[in-house]
Amino acid sequence: MSGKNITAKQPAGKSSPFLSELTLDCVILGFHEDQLKVLLLRWRGTQEWSLPGGPIRKEESVDQAACRILKERTGLKDIFLQQFQLFGDVERYNRNEIKEKLKHLVEPEKWFERAVSVGYYALVDYPKVAPTPDAFTEECQWWGIDEIPSLLFDHNHLIKIALESLRIQLSWQPIGYKLLPEQFTLPELQRLYETILGRTLDPRNFQRKMLGLGILYRLETRRKGGAHKAPYLYRFNKQHYKAMLTKGSLFFS
Amino acid sequence: MSGKNITAKQPAGKSSPFLSELTLDCVILGFHEDQLKVLLLRWRGTQEWSLPGGPIRKEESVDQAACRILKERTGLKDIFLQQFQLFGDVERYNRNEIKEKLKHLVEPEKWFERAVSVGYYALVDYPKVAPTPDAFTEECQWWGIDEIPSLLFDHNHLIKIALESLRIQLSWQPIGYKLLPEQFTLPELQRLYETILGRTLDPRNFQRKMLGLGILYRLETRRKGGAHKAPYLYRFNKQHYKAMLTKGSLFFS
């Protein structure tokens, strides 16, 4: 939420520039040092963390609002983002607890009466991100997906559902080339798949399947450093990758 | 929308029992005579059709609202339903055209200022449905998925997106046993898959794959009638089916 968005916490009314019943939350994912990471915000004067998010302007589409918020938090435009679920329970979390924890930042009566939230996941090129807090927060930082603390609101639940959705969409969305750098090794690609699928894959089967799809170019160069024989670098044949995705062929059973 | 819901068209206000910015639409799908069908409503005094849908009560979750509306339109409880997308564009359709077409039913100023809609698809057992219009409509009828007329709002688009979503989720959701009757033949199952995937499948490969998954029981009885040799009836091993779904194993590339 940017500085301007503080006004969105005022009670709903015709005069507010924001929708008053619908907000959005973003699960921004990056891949770094063989680990899937998520971007979290720490609220001012607290040790409380949450996902980035915010209200939707009346004159922008919900997707445009997600792009705007992502740009504010990461500095990036043209991010791959995907709605994954609407969170529409009446009591999504303990509202009184939230009001109490954040009362030094938001007057309790200024919270929305009931906020339905639409969840987006975004896949970003990790080194390109400049994590930036919003008006309510003082720190914006990557957390390893296995190290996430207890978050405000229902945000631990949102992350869980985002990952389940990502797993289903692994065969249908360009997840590999959105999360990996331009050049990568087969072990790095495998590690990404394993992280999302939540299980280990046999390296020989994985390589055979991936190379068999014809979506990878092998480069002449090898990854430098490391104890073992340096593995070759690859990059995606994006045209072929897209063609495979329309058939869902990147499926791993 | 039931009779009571007419009040939801009144301008947003604290006194309304409904959310004023978010509505829902339902793509209710059934399978009958080898054809995928969708339930549509015809608006009173017009030849205009739309999907079922309606507003969300402030004291119910969005999922509960979808269940309520589905029960009102079909008579069924415990329907399999799944959110597939939020439709959040500022101008989802030509509002003036809609206001003009339906002005004998809804006073133009009583439409929501901006309505974001969440789309659900529902899979129902066709013969069990008792199609029932709402307060604004006078006919509720099944339409073959290939015969849908030009619909009100952005509902042709909603159906297209629902089917794309269904295709992706074919490997992950119990689509077969939600749409087929308790007993069915392999050609019927294949026809369902073909309809959703939008392409023909080789019968021998299909049968080998399906039987190989171990999710079907063959019964002793055969389908009666028909010119060819009567095919065997099958039913699902639901426990095994569910186990396969958690791995996404019902995938067809």
Euclidean distance between CA atoms B82 and B43, whole angstroms: 25
- Looking at residue B117, what DSSP letter applies? E
Confirm whether B206 is domain-assigned. yes
Tell me: pLDDT of B3 over 60: no
User: Looking at the structure, do residues B161 and B192 belong to the same domain, yes or no?
Assistant: no
Cα angle, residue A91 at apex, residues A85 and A95 outer, rounded to 5°: 115
Per the model's pLDDT, the better-predicted residue between A60 and B224 turns out to be: A60
Would you tell me how many other CB atoms lie within 10 Å of the CB of residue A46? 15
Q: Tokens 């205009």 belong to which residue?
A: B48
Residues in chain A: 253
SS3 annotation, chain A: CCHHHHHHHCCCCCCCCEEEEEEEEEEEEEEECCEEEEEEEEECCCCCEECCEEEEECCCCHHHHHHHHHHHHHCCCCCEEEEEEEECCCCCCCHHHHHHHCCCCCCHHHCCCCCEEEEEEEECCHHHCCCCCCCCEEEEEEEECCCCCCCCCCHHHHHHHHHHHHHHHCCCCCHHHHHCCCCEEHHHHHHHHHHHHCCCCCHHHHHHHHHHCCCEEEEEEECCCCCCCCCEEEEECHHHHHHHHHHCCCCCC
Whether residue B136 is found in the same domain as residue B38 = yes
One-letter amino acid of A53:
G
Total domains present in chain A? 2
Task: Residue A231: give its domain's CATH number.
Answer: 1.10.10.10
The reply to whether A105 falls in a domain is: yes
Question: Nearest to residue B66, comparing CAs of B123, B148, B4?
Answer: B123
Whole-number Å distance between alpha carbons of A3 and A136: 8
> Which residue type does B246 have?
T
Q: Higher pLDDT residue, B72 or B2?
A: B72
Least CB–CB distance from B62: residue in A88, A113, A251:
A88
Q: Are residues A14 and A66 in the same domain?
A: yes
**Confidence class for position B250, pLDDT limits 50, 70, 90:** low
Asked whether residue A188 is domain-assigned, the answer is: yes
pLDDT digits (tens, 9 = 90+) for A78-133: 888 999 999 999 999 999 999 999 999 999 888 888 889 999 999 999 999 999 99
Residue A131 lies in a domain: yes
ipTM of the predicted structure? 0.84
A2 pLDDT band, cuts 50/70/90, is: very low
Q: Answer whether residue A9 shows pLDDT above 50.
A: no
User: Tell me, what's the pLDDT at B13?
Assistant: 52
- B171 reaches A (C-beta below 8 A): yes
Q: Is B129 among the domain residues?
A: yes
Considering only the beta carbons, identify the residue of B61, B85, B251 that sits closest to A83.
Answer: B85
A46 and A161 in a single domain? The answer is yes
Nearest neighbour of B88 by CB, restricted to A62, A168, A247: A62
User: B116 CB near a chain A CB, below 8 Å?
Assistant: yes
Structure tokens at A248: 């869902």
pLDDT (tens digit, 9 = 90+) per residue, A232-249? Answer: 999 998 888 887 777 665
CA distances from B186 to B145, B208, B217 (A): 21, 11, 11
- CB contact (8 A) between residue B172 and residue A168: yes
Q: Let me know whether B39 and B140 are in one domain.
A: yes
For residue A65, pLDDT beyond 50:
yes
The closest CB to that of A22, out of B21, B61, B247, belongs to B21
Q: Domain boundary residue among B114, B135, B169? A: B169
Q: For residue range A179-197, what is the model confidence (pLDDT) as tens digits? A: 998 899 999 999 988 888 8
> A198 at the B interface (CB within 8 A)?
no
Q: What is the pLDDT of residue B1?
A: 35
Is the domain of B13 the same as that of B90?
yes
Compute the average pLDDT of residues A198-210: 88
CB B178 within 8 A of CB B80: yes
CB contacts of A58 in chain B (<8 Å) are 90, 113-114
Chain B residue with minimal CA distance to A63?
B88
pLDDT of B173 reads 78
Confidence of residue B219 (pLDDT cuts 50, 70, 90): very high
Tell me, what's the pLDDT at B241? Answer: 82
Q: What confidence category does residue A13 fall into, taking pLDDT thresholds of 50, 70 and 90?
A: low
The residue of B18, B92, B118 whose CB has the most chain A CBs within 10 angstroms, and thus the best one to mutate to test that interface, is: B118
* pLDDT of B194: 87
> Is B171 within 8 Å of A251 when comparing Cβ atoms?
yes
Are B158 and B52 part of one and the same domain? yes
pLDDT of residue B4: 35
Residue B58 located in a structural domain: yes
Domain at B116, CATH number: 3.90.79.10
Q: Give Cβ neighbours of residue B180 (< 8 Å, ≥ 6 apart).
A: B31, B188, B189, B192
The answer to whether A249 contacts B253, with C-beta atoms less than 8 Å apart, is yes
Q: Is the dihedral of CA B56, B58, B62, B68 positive or negative?
A: negative
Whole-number Cα distances in Å, B142 to A245, B66, B69, B124:
32, 19, 17, 12
Candidate from A20, A58, A86 with C-beta closest to B83: A86
Q: Which two tokens stand for residue B183?
A: 């007993």
Q: How many CB pairs under 8 A join A and B?
A: 77
Amino acid (1-letter code) at residue A69: I
Residues B40 and B103 occupy one common structural domain:
yes
Residue of A58, A64, A90 to mutate when probing chain B, most B C-beta within 10 A: A90
* Same-domain pairing of A158 and A194: no
Instruction: Check whether residue B160 and residue B212 sit in a common domain.
Output: no
The pLDDT value given to residue B197: 82
A206 in any annotated domain: yes
**Is there a contact between A83 and A118 (Cβ–Cβ < 8 Å)?**
yes
**Local structure of B196: helix, strand or coil:** helix
DSSP state of B197: H
Q: What type of residue is B133?
A: P
Distance between first and last Cα of chain B: 40
- Asked if B150 is an interface residue toward chain A (Cβ–Cβ < 8 A), one would say no
Domain boundary among A148, A169, A190: A169
Q: Of the residues A145, A169, A193, which one is the last residue of a structural domain?
A: A169
Average pLDDT score over residue span A202-210: 89
Q: Is A61 exposed, middle or buried (0-12, 13-18, 19+ CB in 10 A)?
A: middle
Helix (H, G, I), strand (E, B) or coil at B144: strand
pLDDT tens-digit map of B130-182: 999 999 999 999 999 999 999 999 999 999 999 988 887 877 777 887 899 88
Q: How far apart are CA A182 and CA A197, in angstroms?
A: 22
Specify whether the CB–CB gap between A118 and A24 falls below 8 A: yes
Regarding whether A142 and A47 lie in a shared domain, the answer is yes
Three-state SS at B120: strand
B156 and B105 part of one domain? yes
Contacts of B133 (CB under 8 A, 6+ apart): B41, B42, B139, B140
Average pLDDT over residues A137-142: 98
**Residue A201 in this model has a pLDDT that exceeds 80:** yes
Of A42, A36, A69, A39, nearest in space to A54 by CA: A69
> Which residues in chain B touch residue A168, judged by CB atoms under 8 angstroms apart?
168-169, 172, 248
Which structural domain range is residue B237 located in? 182-247
Let me know if residue B252 belongs to a domain.
Answer: no
